[in-house]
Structure 1
Amino acid sequence: MFECKDVAEEASNYLEGDLPLGKRIGLFFHIVICSCCRAYIQQIRQTIRTVGVVKPREQANVDTQALAEQLRALSKKDS
């Protein structure tokens, strides 16, 4: 029997159809009986749909050097 942690680990593979049949069926039955995992899979599906529709606009005049310096400064603060 599959557990919630299995669904979390294999969610993207499950949604992309990249699992062996036995594992796919096992996860499917767990999702059918577990409302939390069902909601989790639905949220991932919705996120994939949203990201596929909403595309960020890139700005051609982005100062990548300044951005890199800001990221370095932030990472030093977290250390």
Structure 2
Amino acid sequence: MRSDELKEKAKKNEKDFKRNRKIGFFPLVALILRMVRKSTQLELDEFREMFMPEEAVKTTYTKQSFSEARQKLLPDAFTLLND
């Protein structure tokens, strides 16, 4: 499955993930898969520093922005990734 197909099938609304936001579709999925069970803010900060070091200096992810982005993602995304 191509990445565009996954993105289209895994979002709740056709308008979701259209604009360029701080937390995009693929970083969101990677972040959810990587979460170890520290506090959400620590996980967000570590993820940015590890995978997006240039972004980590310029911007921050908040727990609220992460939560809002996660609400736009269907649980089917992980089933599709597994298949």
TM-score if structure 1 supplies the norm length?
0.32
Higher helix share: 1
- Which structure has the larger Rg over C-alpha atoms? 1
TM-score if structure 2 supplies the norm length?
0.31
